[in-house]
Structure 1
Amino acid sequence: MKTAKNQTHELKRSMKARHLFMISLGGGIGTGFFLGSGYTIHQAGPTGAILSYLVGGFVMYLTMLCLGELSVAMPVSGSFQTYTTKFIGPATGFAIGWLYWLGWAVTIALESLSAGQLMQRWFPESPVWMWCLIFIFLIFSLNALSVKTFAESEFLFSGIKILAIILFIIVCGAAAFGLINMKDGQQAPFFSHFFSEGLFPNGVTALLITMITVNFSFQGTELIGIAAGESENPEKTLPKAIKQTVWRTLFFFVLSVFLIACMIPREQAGIAESPFVVVLDSIGVPYSADIMNFIILIALLSVSNSGLYAATRMLYSLSKEGMASPMLGKINSRGVPINALLITLGIAGLSLLSSVLAAKTVFVWLLSLAGLGAQIGWISITASQLAFRRKYIREGGDVADLKFKTPFYPFLPIVALISNCIVMISLAFDPTQRMALYCGGTFFISCYIIYHFKLKKNQRYNLNEQEVQLNSDKKMVI
């Protein structure tokens, strides 16, 4: 069997610009948005919720600018794990890569479990485990066939989510401002709910706590960096895709939250039921709960699909860099890291099993790690961009030669780094999220210990070899 270093097959650059755009845009539209937006409005109030999404969107924008500069200069499947390894340190890259991989593997299990539970609305007598197996087999098949199959399926999933949001905005906006009649002759609310309880009904503290939920709902947009390694002409498609993703994500998120806040009082918004369902029901849209059940199901499958892709490519990257078994770097004739795909699916299966056998211990710990992985990834993106630009200038590079530049360097990258660190530290002030810091910190320290006492000692990791390889592909500016 060929290993990562002597195989003949390579990843295929078959993703088009439309795939990159939809993968990144759809990556941020998940259950965190369809369900979490209600929690944000309930805690922070209408005005506070909009401010939370605007600030969260601004942090996302700064992070994506940093990712854009790195990804255009070095479009590799390892994305920020590779950048962290090269510009910050291999031990940090090792820890971030494994944390991000494990986080997505656990997320696949969680999303499959949630999707199975949703199916019981239509098939109440069916077992949840049966639907879990069906959905896991589906996303495995989409990822195993080829990267193009994955890209097309994610294009479809994301398209359905975006179409649903557009239709929701049109119908909800018309009802909020009296253009269509509401159920039972209710009056159009206009802006009445914005002024009924003041600016911040639960204080500024509630606003800060909701920032954690909001920031997590934007995560997934970093998938565009991982997909860059298999995209056509990344120098041209990446900058355009990143800019479009940021502004359109902000548009969909902020406008949807604004209209939801117009339509329902703060007390009716929560996490027990999707605020989208509450709004559509108040308008009198028939089968509103079933419609949203289907949309949320699509969102769950989309997250699982993207998560399996991201985790597989991260494990492949770790293998290529000598941080995982060479067997995991094997690529089949269809351009798929099949061993990495199977191992990731296996860990997702074990995580799903732990939700039954150890739901209050192991599964909770794994979920905490899953929530922290993407946030650590965002921190590493901003820190890597600062280190990358500093090294580039120190080695005589001309910033004008960079095909995509983060503006106002180093001010904006520093603001992005500090903002992402604040979000992570804020987990300590939310009792429901505090476990993520405990589990994540323990896992991170363990990864450092493993690297220094096993990997660093027994393997010779050569960064120069990686740089030569990247230069041979003419994809680096260094």
Structure 2
Amino acid sequence: MELQPTASLDKGGDTRSADVVSRPQGGYVDRILSSFGPHPNYKPRKATGDAAFNLEQANVAIAESPLSRRLKGRHLQMIAIGGSIGTGLFVGSGNALRSGGPAALLIAFALIGMMLYCVVHALGELAVVFPVAGSFSAYSTRFLDPAWGFAMGWNYAMQWLVVLPLEIVAAAITIDYWNSPVNKAVWITIFWVLIVAINLFGVKGYGEAEFVFSLIKVIAVIGFIILGIIINCGGGPKGGYIGTMHWHDPGAFAAGFKGVCAVFVTAAFAFAGTELVGLAAAETANPRKSLPTAIKQVFWRITLFYIISLTIVGLLVPYTEKRLVGQSSADAKASPFVIAIENAGIKVLPSIMNVVIMVAVLSVGNSSVYGSSRTLAALADQGQAPRIFSYIDRKGRPIVGIIVASLFGLLGYLAVSKKQNQAFMWMLAISGLSSIFTWGSICLAHIRFRRGWKLQGHSLDELAFKSQPGVIGSWLGFSLNLLVLVAQFWTALWPIGEDPKAEVFFSSYLAVPVVLVFYFGYKLLFWTSIVRAKDMDLVTGRRELDIAELLADERAERAAWPVWKRVYHFFC
């Protein structure tokens, strides 16, 4: 079988063929089967037999990963905008509203939004300089401690591995909104096949699917905001001006300060997935150009999609609404968005909103396969996971990771068993605090990177993209993540309106001991040490090394822009 390799020069300055595609001659089936063969640039990691962790080799391995670089700017922007618009906003906000009230909802989501703004800017700065496989877990290994990088990598991979079956079941549950007579197992099969098929198309398939999913979610949120304003002003079928009536009766707060803390934790979970834009940097054609724009989109997501839509939800739905208590995290009947539309007397739109919720659930399931497979591949490249996970095929897919993630999705069939509630509760417990650890580690890695960058004689002018809140923002983001852990500990140990229960506590806080076991276990096994600032590797993995003159020209060009254009590009 004759192979015709085609090489392309990365616009970001990388002369290595980043996306070599071997095009075998033959029929359609032959081409499909051949695509699973090893990538021309794939270099299997060899066992060294060395008992110590080799940080230098790990940095080189993730920098030379042959993952496909086919994501474009539009893909990254939609991943950034729609990455965290999911059931946390559409359904989870209902439980948050019931627990804390409309004022607590806004306060908590605004604080978490501010935290995420700091986190993604820190991630953006690191990802533009080092668009390497594994992203944030690799940054923990490089700038903090290899043992912590190991813990963060497996923590993140486990999060997405258990999220996939949960989201597949959630998608099947959304069908119950229409009282479907079809067995739930049938819908689980359909959604599983759809998600797996999308990811088998490679990173381009993931990018295109997320582009469409995110576009649907964005249109839905904007449409709801417009509709909500009309309903609030008395323009719905039932008429009647609502205004701030529900803020006075039943009130703005449901459970005082403890209610705010409970919503604080829920809000943190709602934003899970925001960091995926950094993970995708390694598979982006030109991260220096695409990533900054995508990172800045977070400002609009926080402001427009979360704060404004939740303000309207708090105006239209009282926290005493009984329907806010759903059967699951994807029960559309418990969505405050659906309840607000139903209360207004509109007949067709609730079903449309349920379709949007189903799309949001599938989007998260799609991201779970992507996130877990890429993280497992990066861990294997660094020698922190079985070598087989590092295998990259001709299409640039970490196919072993995709297969393992897909097999985990089959756990969704537990939904038709008698033990489904217990099984899913503990699966959710494993993934519950994963994002908090990830975000905190990103902030800490950025702080340590800046320290090493300065100590080794570099200036901030050498950075193609600088975090707008800077190191102060990373300290703020790190502190807020610690605050979430404290708030979660309090609300898990003493739940609102309930007595302390060991089962309730561990179902909310299980991720903490799991992470600590990973960290100290690896540290005792390999005796890793904290990476010193003066010893940090600030070269390996950088696609562009000598761009000072290019950056100076770009800054001079931006300085000549009119004020309106500079303001626009500051935010976008």
TM-score past 0.5 threshold: yes
Are 2:290 and 1:237 equivalent residues in the alignment? yes
Going from structure 1 to structure 2, the CA distance change for 1:318 and 1:466 (only over 3 Å counts) comes to farther
Q: Indicate how the Cα distance of structure 1 residues 410 and 100 shifts in structure 2: closer, same or farther if over 3 A, else same.
A: same
Structure 1 distance, partners of 2:486, 2:425, is: 20
* Whole-Å separation in 2 of the counterparts to 1:356 and 1:197: 40
Q: Is the 8 A contact 1:5 1:326 kept in 2?
A: no
Q: Take 2:310 and 2:248, find their aligned partners in 1: how far apart are those partners?
A: 16
Confirm or deny that 1:312 pairs with 2:373: yes
Alignment of structure 1 residues 95-114 onto 2, 5 Å: 95-114=151-170
- Tell whether 2:129 aligns with 1:73: yes
Q: Distance in 2 between matches of 1:148 and 1:342?
A: 18
* 8 A Cα contact 1:31 1:296, kept in partner: yes
Within a 5 Å distance, the mapping from 1:208-227 to structure 2 comes to: 208-227=261-280
| SS at structure 2 position matched to 1:267 | coil
Q: Is the 8 A contact 2:140 2:146 kept in 1?
A: yes
AA aligned opposite 1:447 = F
Write the distance in 1 (CA, Å) between the matches of 2:524 and 2:416. 32
Query: Structure 1 residue runs of 4+, over 6 Å off?
Result: 464-468
Q: Which amino acid aligns with 2:397?
A: V
Query: Is the CA contact (8 Å cut-off) linking 1:9 and 1:335 kept in structure 2?
Result: no
Task: Sort the Cα spacing of 1:476 and 1:89 in 2 relative to 1 into closer, same or farther, 3 A.
Answer: farther
1:249-276 per-residue CA deviation (whole Å, 9 max, x = no partner) reads 3211111111122222221272431111
Q: 1:435 aligns with which of 506, 518, 529?
A: 506
Asked if 1:247 is matched to 2:300, the reply is yes
Tell me the SS of whatever aligns to 1:266.
Answer: coil
Which amino acid is 1:34 matched to? F
- The correspondence for 2:174, drawn from 99, 108, 118, is 118
Q: CA deviation at 1:33?
A: 0.8
Residue 476 of structure 1 deviates from its aligned partner by 10
Amino acid at match of 2:267: V
Q: How much does 1:468 deviate?
A: 6.4
Maintained 8 Å contact 1:386/1:410 = yes
The one-letter amino acid of 1:442's match is: P
Equivalence for 1:46: 102
Q: In 2, are the aligned partners of 1:21 and 1:245 still within 8 Å (CA)?
A: no
The superposition leaves residues 333-384 of structure 1 with CA deviations (integer Å, 9 ceiling, x where unpaired) of: 1111101111122233246548837545554222111111111111111111
Q: 1:212 offset after TM fit, Å?
A: 0.5
**What's the offset of the Cα at 1:44?**
2.3
Which has the larger Rg? 2
Q: Partner residue of 1:445? A: 516
Question: What secondary structure is seen at the aligned counterpart in 1 of 2:240?
Answer: coil
Q: Specify which of 373, 381, 389 is matched with residue 450 of structure 2.
A: 389
* Structure 1 position 298 matched with structure 2 position 359: yes
Give 1:474's aligned amino acid.
E
- Give the Cα separation in 2 of the matches to 1:168 and 1:182: 16
The answer to whether the aligner puts 1:200 opposite 2:253 as a matched pair is: yes
Q: 1:226 to 1:121 in 2, by over 3 A?
A: same
Cα deviation 1:226-269 (Å, max 9, x = unaligned):
01111121112111111113323321111111112222222127
What amino acid sits opposite 1:189 in the alignment?
Answer: I
Question: Given the superposition, is the C-alpha separation of residues 262 and 135 from structure 1 closer, same or farther in structure 2, using an over 3 Å criterion?
Answer: same
- CA shift digits 1:436-475 (9 cap, x unpaired): 5642133223323542455679xxxxxx99876514x437
> 2: CA distance between counterparts of 1:82 and 1:9?
13
Over the aligned positions, Cα root-mean-square deviation in angstroms equals 2.7
Corresponding residue pairs, total: 468
What code does the residue aligned with 2:221 have? Answer: I
Give 2:70's match in structure 1, choosing from 2, 11, 14. Answer: 14
Matched AA of 2:378: S
Q: What is the rounded CA distance, in whole Å, between the counterparts of 1:396 and 1:436 in structure 2? A: 47
- Name the counterpart of 2:145: 89
Cα distance in 2 for partners of 1:252, 1:378 equals: 21
Structure 2 counterpart of 1:270 = 324
Describe the superposition over 1:147-176 as per-residue Cα deviations: whole angstroms up to 9, x where unpaired: 111100111011111111111111111121
User: What do the CA deviations read for 1:370-418 (whole angstroms, capped 9, x no partner)?
Assistant: 1111111111111111111111111111122112222454322111101
Relative to structure 1, is the Cα distance of residues 408 and 296 closer, same or farther in structure 2, using a 3 angstrom cutoff? closer
Instruction: Compute the displacement of 1:24 (Å).
Output: 2.0
Distance 1:355 1:236 in 2: 47
What is the distance in 1 between the residues matched to 2:230 and 2:399?
Answer: 49
Aligned-partner Cα distance in 2 for 1:389–1:308: 32
Instruction: Verify the 8 A CA contact 2:433 2:509 in the aligned structure 1.
Output: no
CA contact (8 A) 1:228 1:238 kept: yes
The whole-number CA distance in structure 2 between the counterparts of 1:476 and 1:38 is 51
Q: Could you tell me how far apart the structure 1 residues matched to 2:250 and 2:86 are?
A: 29
Residue 517 of structure 2 aligns with an amino acid whose one-letter code is S
Tell me how far apart the structure 2 counterparts of residues 89 and 352 of structure 1 sit (CA, whole Å): 39
- The one-letter code matched in structure 2 to 1:377 is T
Q: How does 1:162-173 map to 2 (within 5 A)?
A: 162-173=218-229
**TM-score computed with the length of structure 2 as normaliser:** 0.76
For structure 1, list consecutive stretches of 5 or more residues without a partner in the other structure.
Answer: 458-463
What's 2:385 paired with?
324
> TM-score normalized by structure 1?
0.91
Amino acid paired to 1:245: V
In 2, Cα distance between equivalents of 1:226 and 1:161? 21
Q: Residue 30 of structure 2 aligns with which residue? A: none
Range 282-291 or range 300-309, more displaced: 282-291
Q: Secondary structure at the match of 2:265?
A: helix
State, as a whole percentage, how many aligned pairs show the same letter. Answer: 32
Give the drift of 1:177: 1.4
Q: Any conservation in 1 of the 2:103–2:253 contact (CA below 8 Å)?
A: yes
Does structure 1 residue 36 correspond to structure 2 residue 73?
A: no
Q: Find the counterpart in structure 1 of residue 429 from structure 2.
A: 368
8 A contact 1:73–1:476 mirrored in 2 = no
Secondary structure of the 1:260 match is helix
Q: Where does residue 261 of structure 1 map in the other structure?
A: 314
What is the match of residue 474 of structure 1? Answer: 544
The AA in structure 1 aligned to 2:318 is P
Change in CA separation of 1:90 and 1:203 when aligned onto 2, cut-off 3 Å: same
Q: Compare 80-89 and 5-14 and name the one that shifted more.
A: 5-14
Residue type of the alignment partner of 1:396: G
What is the DSSP-based 3-state SS (H/G/I as helix, E as strand, rest coil) of the residue aligned with 1:396?
Answer: coil
In 1, distance between residues paired with 2:546 and 2:440?
Answer: 22
Bigger share in helix:
1
